[in-house]
């Protein structure tokens, strides 16, 4: 898929970007991989880990998705783009809404505009379960971003640029993940784990699984889809017990903008949702004039099945849960 191709990752110095570079090194021979991010120190750290002297296909490009001209320069001659740049902290968004709008919505539109101008072939925007029926500003900005990328498929005219979404849950050991935080509390012998609610659940996915799923969706996307991997749920209280079963737990109450359980396929979208072996696909709810696709078959010739009316993919009712012992093995 990526052999002899030029790829750009916005927010490329984050957890996903690092994992994606590792994956590309092991599985492909790209022509060029551009790491686009605004933090020069993180770029320095990443260049220490993946030096361009050894990995000649790597390029480190300082820029912000808010800066359209810089993006346009970076995306010249790019074949594929992964949009991972975002402000992501739920509580922070409630106090700094305009900053989240500027990056997550206006920045997304900048990405769309320059990809159309520079004729990028395929674009996948990384989304979140918090964009499904959002109750917080972060989720609302990501839902707006998703809508922009889906609608962009109608703006390309006769050009071949295509846009799709990958939506997933909490990523194990990613920046901002609760796992490193809980581990630090345990290692520093804190008095307790702060748990917001004893019944709270979350979808769970590893970085490696995320990267592989994005690779897979590049192969099967037509444009306009939201791809949702089938992944397990965990109880947050079980995560704490897996890290340190002897440490006390203190219930501190749900934080601003936080949900008790997360959703990835909303009930209101059940009429648009298809189920495949390893993923769900939410079809666009708008008519595309340049794409003629029922989305019911993928390149593996697997046919998707329409889900039942009012189906909802919810972290509470998910059929697959990780036990405490299973959590221990992956953290």
CATH number of the domain within which 40 lies: 3.40.50.720
Whole-model pTM: value is: 0.95
Residue 174 pLDDT: 80
Q: For 178-205, write each residue's pLDDT tens digit.
A: 999 999 999 999 999 999 999 999 999 9
- Does some domain include residue 182? no
Given a cut of 90, whether residue 289 has pLDDT beyond it is no
- Does some domain include residue 221? yes
- Does some domain include residue 98? yes
- Does some domain include residue 63? yes
Given a cut of 80, whether residue 285 has pLDDT beyond it is yes
- Does some domain include residue 222? yes
Q: For 210-224, write each residue's pLDDT tens digit.
A: 999 999 999 999 999
For the chain, what is the domain count?
1
Residue 298 pLDDT: 82
Instruction: Look up the domain containing 96 and give its range.
Output: 6-169+206-230+267-312
Collapsing DSSP states into helix, strand and coil, what is residue 331? coil
Residue 155: Cβ-neighbour burial (10 angstroms; 0-12, 13-18, 19+): middle
pLDDT (mean) for 88-107 = 95
pLDDT (mean) for 128-138 = 96
> Of residues 296 and 148, which shows the higher confidence score?
148
Q: Is the dihedral of CA 264, 267, 270, 271 positive or negative?
A: negative
- Does some domain include residue 298? yes
> Of residues 233 and 295, which shows the higher confidence score?
233
pLDDT (mean) for 138-159 = 94
Reference 166, options 279, 65, 289, 260; nearest CA is 279
Active-site positions read: 130
CA distance 15 to 19: 6
pLDDT (mean) for 101-117 = 98
Reference 14, options 75, 83, 73, 76; nearest CA is 83
- Does some domain include residue 11? yes
């Amino acid at each position: 898929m990526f052999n002899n191709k030029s790829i750009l990752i916005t927010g490329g110095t984050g957890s996903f970007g690092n994992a994606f570079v590792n994956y590309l090194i092991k599985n492909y021979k790209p022509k060029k991989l551009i790491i686009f991010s605004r933090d020069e120190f993180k770029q320095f750290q990443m260049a220490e880990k993946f030096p361009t002297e050894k990995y000649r296909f790597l390029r480190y490009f300082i820029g912000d998705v808010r800066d359209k001209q810089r993006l346009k320069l970076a995306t010249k001659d790019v074949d594929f783009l992964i949009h991972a740049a975002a402000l992501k902290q739920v509580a922070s968004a409630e106090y700094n809404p305009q900053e989240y709008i500027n990056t997550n919505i206006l920045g997304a539109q900048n990405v769309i505009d320059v990809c159309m101008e520079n004729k990028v072939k395929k674009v996948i925007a990384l989304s979140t379960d918090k964009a499904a029926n959002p109750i917080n500003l972060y989720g609302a900005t990501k839902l707006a971003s998703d809508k922009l990328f889906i609608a962009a498929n109608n703006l390309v005219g006769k050009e071949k640029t295509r846009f799709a979404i990958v939506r997933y849950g909490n990523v194990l050991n990613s920046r901002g993940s609760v796992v490193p935080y809980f581990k630090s509390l345990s290692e520093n012998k804190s008095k307790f784990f702060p748990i917001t609610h004893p019944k709270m659940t979350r979808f769970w996915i590893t970085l490696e699984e995320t990267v592989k799923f994005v690779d897979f969706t590049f192969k099967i996307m037509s444009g306009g889809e939201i791809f949702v991997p089938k992944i397990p749920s965990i109880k947050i209280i079980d995560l704490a017990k897996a890290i340190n079963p002897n440490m006390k737990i203190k219930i501190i109450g749900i934080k601003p903008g936080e949900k008790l359980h997360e959703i990835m396929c909303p009930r209101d979208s059940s009429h648009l949702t298809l189920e495949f072996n390893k993923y769900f696909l939410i079809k666009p709810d708008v008519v595309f004039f340049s794409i003629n696709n029922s989305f019911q078959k993928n390149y593996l010739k697997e046919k998707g099945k329409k889900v039942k009316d009012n189906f909802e993919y919810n972290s509470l009712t998910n059929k697959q849960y990780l036990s405490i012992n299973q959590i221990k093995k992956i953290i």
